[in-house]
Amino acid sequence: MELQEPVRPAPGQVWRMEKAQLQALLDALQRRGYIVIGPRIQDGAIVYDEIQRLADLPIGWTDEQEKGHYRLKPRRDEAFFGYAVGPHSWKRFLHPPVLSLGRARRNGQGFEWIPTADPPPRYAFLGVRACELHAITILDRVFTAGPYVDPIYQARREAIFLIAVQCTVAGGTCFCASMGTGPKAPPGADLILTELPDVFVVEIGTERGAQLMAEIPCAPAAEADRSAVEAALEETARSIGRKLDTTDLPGLLYRNLEHPRWEEVAQRCLTCGNCTMVCPTCFCFTVEDISDLAGTQAERVRRWDSCFTTAFTYTAGRPIRQSAKARYRQWLTHKLASWWDQFGTSGCVGCGRCITWCPVGIDLTEEVAAIRQTDGERR
């Protein structure tokens, strides 16, 4: 059988691209007016920030992660994406940590909102992991699939160009295989890249992804490229060290709301909220109203908030979740149980950030396993 070789990239096809051509891809995105956000090294960690050229990428670096531990280490090769995930997630660009909802000025006794017409930023995300694609889909559900649609999230989300890069190394704390969220990227990205030693293999997800690839020197992938990708993903999956048994996870947690383990974990938990800040799906925010000293201008801001603060549940004079136990339980049961009731999906994608960035190394997979082991115990 003779296959007709495609002359132009099209959705569904797989192409190969020399690694240096990633610069051409950056250029093509920038020509389209995108601000490219990708991995770069800052303050000893790989974070997501604006990328101009390939040299901005953490080439030759990897991240060593364990419970409460994160270090950058040089690799033996020059891999562009040879790390797992850092403290940032794409959430910060779709649902920014601080965002103005509007400014108002005093107007006699009253006030009026000053119209703003800032268009949403046009971001291209480069280096989105499989788990992170899932996280973005989860945020889509939170902000756009309910009875109300958040117009701010929606506008930002619609402007995004998504370039996934599948993991060829497993992070020290991740467990995407347990959550069914990786390492293979789900559909949804414009392009899905896999980094092999010499080339990028590029799966084309969308028409605009195809159009972008048409501007970049590349060639259809060979069968060997595809099997190299499969082998790399299998190796990644194999090297994932953590597991979370997800069997009836909501049921397990709902029937163990009074389990002694919550007290036990609360002895260790500092309620710092790091886990909620680094989590790619934690979406809670607070609304703050501020004014200038003269009281003539006011602004309404939304700011990431955390269910680990006592102020989070401040109702009619006092907080409802006062103990650390209640706050940790809220977070974990929300992620793994009530999220299903609210949005039809898990709130956890197994990225492992909450484990790495917990200052005391609390590992949710261990907490769940402990509860499962003594299912039904009550204090």
Partner 1 sequence: MSKAEILEALRQHPFTHDMEEAWKESLAEIARMQTYAPDTLLLREGRAADAFFLIIDGLVAIEMFVPERGSLRLQTVSAGEIVGWSWALPPYRWEFDARALTETKALVLDAAQLRDRMNRDCALAAWILSRLLAVVAGRLKATRLQLLDLYAPAPRRAS
Partner 2 sequence: MISQAIAPSASDLFLPRPFQVTGVRRETSDTITLRLRPPDGSAFSFRPGQFNMLYLFGIGEVPISISGVHPRTRDLEHTVRAVGYVTRALARLRKGHIVGVRGPFGHGWPLEEARGQDILILAGGIGLAPLRPALQYLLAHRSDYEQIVLLYGSRTPADLLYQLELERWRGRLDLHVFVTVDRGDEAWRGHIGVVTTLLPLAERLLDLRRAFVLMCGPEVMMRVAARELEDRGVPPERIFLSLERNMKCAVGFCGHCQFGPLFICRDGPVFPLPRVRPLLEVREL
Per the listing, tokens 């949710």 go with 364
* DSSP conformational letter for 197: S
Task: Pick from 57, 163, 169, 307 the residue near partner 2 by CB under 8 A.
Answer: 307
92, 248, 270, 336 from 251: Cα distances, Å: 31, 5, 27, 10
* DSSP conformational letter for 6: P
Q: Which of partner 1, partner 2, none is residue 326 near (CB under 5 to 8 Å by kind)? A: partner 2
Q: Which stretch binds partner 2 (CB under 8 A): 111-119, 169-177, 180-188, 189-197?
A: 111-119
Q: Which string of x and - marks every residue 330-349 that binds partner 2 (by CB under 8 A)?
A: x--xx--xx--xx-------
Phi and psi dihedrals of 75, rounded to 5?
A: -90, 170
- Least spacing, CB of residue 104 vs partner 1, in Å: 22
- The reply to whether 317 sits near partner 1 by the rule CB under 8 A is yes
- The reply to whether 289 sits near partner 2 by the rule CB under 8 A is yes
- The reply to whether 98 sits near partner 2 by the rule CB under 8 A is no
As a dihedral over the C-alpha atoms of residue 144, residue 145, residue 147, residue 153, rounded to 10 degrees, the angle is: -10
Q: Site size for partner 1, by CB under 8 A? A: 3
74: tokens are: 């040089």
The torsion region of residue 85 among left (phi > 0), alpha (psi -120 to 50) and beta comes to: beta
CB atoms within 10 A of CB 230: 12
CB 127 within 8 A of CB 81: yes
Q: Which string of x and - marks every residue 54-73 that binds partner 1 (by CB under 8 A)?
A: --------------------
- The reply to whether 376 sits near partner 2 by the rule CB under 8 A is no
- Least spacing, CB of residue 317 vs partner 1, in Å: 2
d(CA 170, CA 174): 7
- Least spacing, CB of residue 273 vs partner 2, in Å: 13
Residue in 174, 78, 69, 80 with CA at minimum distance from that of residue 132 = 174
* DSSP conformational letter for 215: T
- Least spacing, CB of residue 313 vs partner 2, in Å: 6
According to CB under 8 A, which residues from 244 to 263 bind partner 2?
A: 257-258
Residues that bind partner 1 (CB under 8 A): 316-318
Chain residues binding partner 2 by CB under 8 A are 101-102, 104, 106, 109-113, 142-143, 146-151, 257-258, 283-292, 295, 297-298, 300, 302, 305, 307, 312-317, 320-323, 325-326, 330, 333-334, 337-338, 341-342
